[in-house]
Amino acid sequence: MSNSTTHAHIGAHTIVEDGCVVGYRYHPDAGPARIGSNGIIRIGTIIYGDVEAGDFLQTGHHAVIRAFTRLGDYCAVFHRVVLEGLTELGDGVRLMAGVYVASRSRIGNQVFIGPGTILLNDRYPGRSDRIEPRGPTIADEVVVGGGCTIGPGVRIGARSFVGAGSLVLKDVPEGMLAVGSPATCRPLPDHLDRPNNRDLTTARYDLWHPRCDLPEDARW
């Protein structure tokens, strides 16, 4: 196997594993992909041209990042995550396996999104004459648990926490715990009312990175 990086600018010490395409020419006029330094792009990842990513990008296997997506530093986009185009992620965003982000979504800084969560951008797919896709806007320091659905155009305010499996169809103000289907909000309890842990959101390397020492307790 080999990889294709001919249409990409890739920063120093970023590892591109076999079987990846970085700078996929989705159109004859597509620009290059620009990826920062010290990242790791794992087997099977496809990154389109016109994507910009900062330093310490980590992808899992078979992640797809489509055109006009911008990612800050320390972003982790794990296995089978799909980032449709025209999407913006700040610094320290962690998208766990299987997250789907529709185009025209915005995710702020230091945000964690749990496995299998989906962000939608069209309220009446196929049943409206005007197509105006609008993804969710997720503010800084938010946590969204695994298995959630976040509806088109929904805004989730800073520091809020969405419980696992929730269906969020209305805006969530700042500092709320939103749970249930459909989700309802209550103020964050004390133990969740804190910024996200930087050891997680700005981790330079995950456990499976070749430059990371395996922790003592990594075997059972």
Ligand X SMILES: CC(C)(COP(=O)(O)OP(=O)(O)OC[C@H]1O[C@@H](n2cnc3c(N)ncnc32)[C@H](O)[C@@H]1OP(=O)(O)O)[C@@H](O)C(=O)NCCC(=O)NCCS
- Least Cβ distance, residue 218 to ligand X (angstroms): 18
- Answer yes or no whether residue 175 interacts with ligand X by CB under 6 A: no
Place of tokens 């702020």: 108
Looking at the Cβ atoms of 189 and 215, the one nearer to ligand X is 189
β pairing state of 118-119 and 100-101:
parallel
> Per-residue x/- marks for ligand X, 36-75, CB under 6 A?
----------------------------------------
Looking at the Cβ atoms of 131 and 200, the one nearer to ligand X is 200
- Answer yes or no whether residue 114 interacts with ligand X by CB under 6 A: yes
Binding-site member from 125, 173, 180, 187 for ligand X (CB under 6 A)? 180
Looking at the Cβ atoms of 38 and 202, the one nearer to ligand X is 202
Looking at the Cβ atoms of 37 and 184, the one nearer to ligand X is 184
Q: Which of residues 133-152 bind ligand X (CB under 6 A)?
A: 145-146
Size of residue set near ligand X by CB under 6 A: 10
Looking at the Cβ atoms of 8 and 111, the one nearer to ligand X is 111
- Answer yes or no whether residue 179 interacts with ligand X by CB under 6 A: yes
DSSP secondary structure, the chain, as one string: ---B-TTEEE-TT-EE-TT-EEEE-SSTT---EEE-SS-EE-TT-EEETT-EE-TT-EE-TT-EE-SSEEE-SS-EE-TT-EE-SSEEE-SS-EE-TT-EE-SS-EE-SS-EE-TT-EE---SSTTS-SS------EE-TT-EE-TT-EE-TT-EE-TT-EE-TT-EE-S-B-TTEEEETTTTEEEEPPGGG-SPPPHHHHT-SS-TT-TTSPPPTT---
Cis preceding-peptide flag for 187 (omega within 30 of 0): no
Looking at the Cβ atoms of 135 and 145, the one nearer to ligand X is 145
> Per-residue x/- marks for ligand X, 153-172, CB under 6 A?
----------xxxx------
Q: Which residues contact ligand X by CB under 6 A?
A: 114, 145-146, 163-166, 179-180, 189
